[in-house]
Amino acid sequence: MDLSLLKSNYELVLKELNSTDFIRGEDRYSGVFLPYPFEQYDSVQKRVMLVGRETAKWNTLNNKNTIKRIVDKNASNNIRSVIEEAFDRYSWHLLDKKGGNIKTSHRSHFKRFYANLARKLNVSPEQLVYANLYAWDYNGISPSRRGKEEFTVIQQLSADLLAEAIKFCKPDTIVFAVGCNRKNDETIKLIMDKHFGGYETKELDRKKYWRFSSNGMDCYRISHPRASSKEQQNYRKLVIDKATG
């Protein structure tokens, strides 16, 4: 699979980051999260993308993080190196370590949901695409908790980056397991309105479940898999049943 186009499109988005002035306080942003499909994705009959909210300190412990680092790479005309680092980190997100084996047990509720979705689809984990609504976390938590102006910058950049991943992967189904709140829904709507001609709501149970279509894609927004109420568990099961039907 030729990923050069996706990298180039990511590069165009990241080149918009030329200043850290929008950050209030310390720059404690993670490395940028950039998803891509593995080669096995090409062989599936039904293409499914699972979208989480954000990572926790992605490319942070190795000091390949902060917004300033991206700004500096742009200033030296070397933003492609950041993209290559992000792809390298993504390349082993299913493994127990770099160069290791695919993990078969998980403490993370999200990763357990990912594995369950792959199993119900009768595909390997590599045949799904894992993405995130926000391309950065802030000190291990959601950037949506930052001030309005700061979050808006991250929100818009993240929306554009995720849109590029969706355009490249062309999923039939997208499951946004991001949590049911206003900011997340605004970000999803921003992506669909700006890049895919809008959306049409099909089913809605406010703050619990939202099914919509956009540009031929069947999309769902549900709670984060860590949500443990019986009703939320039932909606997760419903989405898996619909995605695999």
At 75, which CATH number? 3.40.470
| Structural domain total, the chain | 1
pLDDT of residue 245: 77
pLDDT of residue 108: 84
pLDDT of residue 181: 92
Token output for 220:
């769902």
- Domain encompassing residue 64: 4-244
pLDDT tens for residues 195-240? 999 999 999 998 899 999 999 999 999 998 887 788 889 999 999 9
pLDDT tens for residues 97-122? 888 888 877 778 899 999 999 999 99
Give buried/exposed letters for 135-163 (b at 16+ CB in 10 A, else e): bbbbeeebbbebeeebbebbbebbbbbbb
User: Average pLDDT over the chain, rounded to whole?
Assistant: 94
pTM for this predicted structure: 0.96
pLDDT of residue 156: 99
Q: Collect all residues with Cβ–Cβ distance below 8 Å to 106 and sequence separation of at least 6.
A: 112, 115
Instruction: Tell me, rounded to whole angstroms, the distance of Cα 75 from its chain centroid.
Output: 26
